[in-house]
Amino acid sequence: MASGIGVIIVILVIYVLSGLKILNEYERAVVFRLGRLAPYRGPGVAFILPVVERMVRIDLRTVTLDIPPQDVITQDNVTVKVSAVLYFRVVDPSRAVTEVANYLFATMQLAQTTLRSVGGQSELDDLLSQREKLNARIQEIVDAQTEPWGIKVTIFPLPIDLLEPFRAIAQARANNAESGQSETKK
């Protein structure tokens, strides 16, 4: 009988210890109790009932996403390679988990689409001379779209590869000059 109680106590201690989770200052635990959302927990020690509750860790620090170079055709039909870096942070961990399947991927795709869209609505001169205005516009659009997901976009700097449009312009001029020379020879 005493050994049976000892086994039960050992199992109970293992059960309790397996439910203890330590969350850093910058982390929150979104908890699902039998599939239903419970209030998020953290930082510090959090107890998750094994089998009954499931925990998803969310990092509240600022995330830096490198947006790969996007080919953008401006209003004046110049192809420009535009790349950017997106800085954002999770402000509501529960919504970041429940409103979108993968908030990192969704934010990246939204930023790429917005970058191409806003760049396509601008002329090359605007891209080069009014970058801060375009940065603010893109940031405003992405922030408004990610707000229901519990995400706040903080910075969206827009560096532009300036060599590509000038290479395209130089190539077009060279082609025009070459076609003009071939016509004069005829």
Question: So what's the pLDDT on residue 124?
Answer: 81
For helices 131-146 and 103-120, the axis angle rounded to 10 degrees is 140
> Which pLDDT tens digit goes with each residue over 85-144?
899 999 999 999 999 999 999 999 999 999 889 888 988 878 778 888 888 898 999 999
Give the percent of the chain with pLDDT over 90. Answer: 47
Question: So what's the pLDDT on residue 42?
Answer: 86
Question: How many other C-beta atoms are found inside a 10 Å radius of the C-beta of residue 16?
Answer: 12
pLDDT bin (cut points 50, 70, 90) of residue 81 is confident
pTM attached to this predicted model: 0.75
Closest CA to 59 of 104, 108, 119: 104
Closest CA to 113 of 86, 94, 77, 75: 86
Question: In sequence order, what are the residues at sequence separation of 6 or more whose Cβ sits closer than 8 angstroms to the Cβ of residue 90?
Answer: 58, 59, 60, 63, 96, 103, 150, 151, 152
Query: What's the CA gap between 1 and 89, in Å, rounded?
Result: 55
Lowest mean pLDDT among 28-32, 70-74, 107-111: 70-74
pLDDT bin (cut points 50, 70, 90) of residue 34 is very high
3-class DSSP state for residue 107?
Answer: helix
Question: So what's the pLDDT on residue 76?
Answer: 84
Closest CA to 54 of 77, 66, 37: 37
Both structure tokens of 40: 């998020």
> Which pLDDT tens digit goes with each residue over 42-60?
899 999 999 899 999 999 9
Cβ burial, residue 14 (10 Å; 0-12/13-18/19+): exposed
Largest CA distance in the chain: 110
Higher pLDDT, 41 or 163: 41
First to last CA, the chain: 110
CB–CB of 83/159 below 8 Å? yes
